[in-house]
Amino acid sequence: MEKMMIGEAIRQLRLAQNMTQQELMDRAYLTRSQIHYIEKNKRIPRKQTVDNICAAFGISFLDLVTFQYQ
């Protein structure tokens, strides 16, 4: 099985939680363009950005990484 890139994992988690990009933007204190580029794997998010995204989803970093490699 091919590993999922972090942006794809974030997108899949967002969709699994029925969350729009706007909701993620508001919860993670990001701009829509940041979310767009991260989900398209055109930008690698900084640690603080990943921490904010994990908090928005209510998951730990480990949960995100585990999801990424499923």
Structure confidence by residue, pLDDT tens digits, 18-55: 999 999 999 999 999 999 999 999 999 999 999 999 99
* Cβ(14)–Cβ(64) below 8 Å: no
The C-alpha atoms of residue 70 and residue 33 are separated, in whole angstroms, by 26
| Coil vs helix vs strand at 8 | helix
Residues present in the chain in total: 70
Could you tell me if residue 16 is inside a domain? yes
Could you tell me if residue 48 is inside a domain? yes
Could you tell me if residue 40 is inside a domain? yes
| Coil vs helix vs strand at 45 | coil
Question: What is the pLDDT confidence band of residue 65, given thresholds at 50, 70 and 90?
Answer: confident
CATH number at residue 57: 1.10.260.40
Is 80 exceeded by the pLDDT of residue 4? no
Q: Which domain holds residue 47?
A: 6-68
Could you tell me if residue 1 is inside a domain? no
* Cβ(21)–Cβ(56) below 8 Å: no
Number of structural domains the chain divides into: 1
The C-alpha atoms of residue 16 and residue 44 are separated, in whole angstroms, by 21
